[in-house]
Amino acid sequence: MSLPTENLALAVRQAVAEGLLGEEHPVAGFVDVQGVRGTVAALHEAFAQVPDVLHAFAAKACPLVPVLRLLADAGMGCEVASPGELRLALDAGFAPARIVLDSPAKTRQEIREALALGVALNADNLAELDRIDALRPADCASVIGLRVNPQVGGGSIGAMSTATAHSKFGVALRDPGMRARVVEAFARRPWLTRLHAHVGSQGCPLPLIAEGLTAVHRLAEEIDAHVGHRQITSLDLGGGLPVNFADDMVTPTYAEYVAALTAVEPALLDGRYQVVTEFGRSLIAKNGFTAARVEYVKDAGGRRVALTHAGGQVATRTVFMPDAWPLRVTAYGPDGAPKDTPLLPQDVAGPLCFAGDVVAHERPLPELAEGDLVVLHDTGGYYFSAHWSYNSLPRPAVYGCLVRDGRVAFTTIRSAQTVREISAESGLAHADALLTGRATPSLR
């Protein structure tokens, strides 16, 4: 649920008034706190009839500790896919038993740490199960599962489709002999009690997602029948929902997702198995926006170009795949008030030194001028976490935004990166390392 237009206008105006946006701070991100809570509530409501469900937020969508802590407070678990994300989840306050570790390339040390903590773990492949055999302690509290690839095909964005024939993720169920190997892998390991699959999210229609998750449910039934008792106790329904970037409407909804799964496989959510979900983008995208200052305006080839401070460094996917990741753009004056002058087709470009750094092409907008602001909508998911360090531009500040009774309050989620911090990340402590005539030890 996007921040209502009138509240967005209040937030932008107040951000300018407080100096969060302007010449000194030309770009910033914002998270709608009440919006996040409302979206989580909608998720819980959609699954209200499912007896046992853990909703684990995909940390990669917004790996900011205050946001993760907000989600934990709202009743979410957390899905992580790296040591860094695991550390963030723990620091945000998620109990280990409510954390799920997914990654296609876990090291032995990562597996060892997860098992020691009691974090749930989904093995990506049969070789990883062999590693777990050797590393799993006798008193292990972790729920352990296996990721399978139902190979049901891809959606409209290949990079977001994880159940294709050649996907790098999971055990390919339709490859010759693999289904039998999966069944046997469970039969040899009584502690292996979860099945996991991830069909995709953006660009993947609900029928495709339902087909893939139905295949996992039927595999669970087959495994239990083979071993002669109930071994599979939970199904991890990975993947998310597509987000509608065209307007403020939330579609598809979580209720529609539940209805689609139930229509194809009624027993999938009937309570026989605990259900784990891993929604990310759909929980946070519409609850965030990015605002940036227009620095210059020029004409080129008969087209107006607005040079802003929001480009590929904060909207990388949109810049490189504009058709797959289009963003709505609205225009505000220097005081943060919405502009309502006649529309003019304009390019909204970013500050990076390459020609493709354009967020919107020929977009009809009120005529932009130096000092105006542009707002990129629906950027709560991934846009605050996938910062691109090209040109050594600093990561912008991100603020929490709470609108109540016509008043706006901000709180800092992440401070803006300083140029000194950029230098430190770029080896400042070893500035003379290549001038000494000898190599500096890489590890101390």
Residue 191 carries which DSSP code?
T
Looking at the structure, tell me whether residues 226 and 339 fall in a common domain.
no
The residue out of 262, 280, 298 marking a domain boundary is 280
Report if residue 434 sits inside a domain.
Answer: no
CATH number of the domain within which 411 lies: 2.40.37.10
The residue out of 222, 249, 280 marking a domain boundary is 280
Q: CA 133, CA 114: separation in Å to the nearest integer?
A: 14
Write out the DSSP string of 13-26: HHHHHTTSSSSSS-
Instruction: Provide the whole-model pTM.
Output: 0.94
Q: CA 162, CA 159: separation in Å to the nearest integer?
A: 8
Looking at the structure, tell me whether residues 91 and 26 fall in a common domain.
no
Looking at the structure, tell me whether residues 14 and 104 fall in a common domain.
no
Looking at the structure, tell me whether residues 321 and 178 fall in a common domain.
no
Report if residue 116 sits inside a domain.
Answer: yes
> What count of other Cβ atoms lies within 10 Å of the Cβ of residue 302?
5
Residue with tokens 């055990």: 171
Phi-psi region of 237 (alpha: psi -120 to 50; beta: other; left: phi over 0): beta
Token representation of residue 158 = 């290949």
Q: CA 126, CA 123: separation in Å to the nearest integer?
A: 8
Domain assignment of residue 378, given as a range: 5-30+285-425
Report if residue 68 sits inside a domain.
Answer: yes
User: How far is residue 255 from each of residues 45, 206, 212, 381, measured CA to CA in Å?
Assistant: 8, 12, 18, 20
Would you give per-residue pLDDT tens digits along the chain (444 residues)?
A: 567 788 999 999 999 999 999 999 999 999 999 999 999 999 999 999 999 999 999 999 999 999 999 999 999 999 999 999 999 999 999 999 999 999 999 999 999 999 999 999 999 999 999 999 999 999 999 999 999 988 776 666 666 566 666 777 788 898 999 999 999 999 999 999 999 998 877 777 888 888 889 999 999 999 999 999 999 999 999 888 989 999 999 999 999 999 999 999 999 999 999 999 999 999 999 999 999 999 999 999 999 999 999 999 999 999 999 988 899 999 999 999 999 999 999 999 999 999 999 999 999 999 999 999 999 999 999 999 889 999 999 999 999 999 988 899 999 999 999 999 999 999 999 999 999 866 555 555
Asked if the bond preceding 342 is cis, omega within 30° of 0, the reply is: no
Looking at the structure, tell me whether residues 46 and 123 fall in a common domain.
yes
- 140 contacts 115 by C-beta, under 8 angstroms: yes
Looking at the structure, tell me whether residues 291 and 328 fall in a common domain.
yes
What is the Cβ-side half-sphere exposure of residue 428, based on CA atoms within 13 angstroms?
A: 7
Looking at the structure, tell me whether residues 250 and 335 fall in a common domain.
no
Report which secondary-structure segment, H or E, holds 48.
Answer: none
Q: CA 89, CA 65: separation in Å to the nearest integer?
A: 7
Looking at the structure, tell me whether residues 63 and 24 fall in a common domain.
no
Report if residue 206 sits inside a domain.
Answer: yes
Looking at the structure, tell me whether residues 17 and 78 fall in a common domain.
no
The residue out of 280, 302, 334 marking a domain boundary is 280
Looking at the structure, tell me whether residues 236 and 338 fall in a common domain.
no
The three-state secondary structure class of 434 is coil
Looking at the structure, tell me whether residues 366 and 394 fall in a common domain.
yes
Helical segments of 265-412, H only: 281-284, 316-320
Q: CA 286, CA 2: separation in Å to the nearest integer?
A: 5
CATH number of the domain within which 128 lies: 3.20.20.10
Report if residue 435 sits inside a domain.
Answer: no
Report if residue 39 sits inside a domain.
Answer: yes
The number of domains in the chain is 2
Looking at the structure, tell me whether residues 269 and 367 fall in a common domain.
no
Residue 305 carries which DSSP code?
E
Residue with tokens 């860094």: 84
The three-state secondary structure class of 280 is coil
Find all residues with CB under 8 Å of 165, minimum gap 6, and list them. 151, 153, 172, 174
Report if residue 431 sits inside a domain.
Answer: no
Report if residue 439 sits inside a domain.
Answer: no
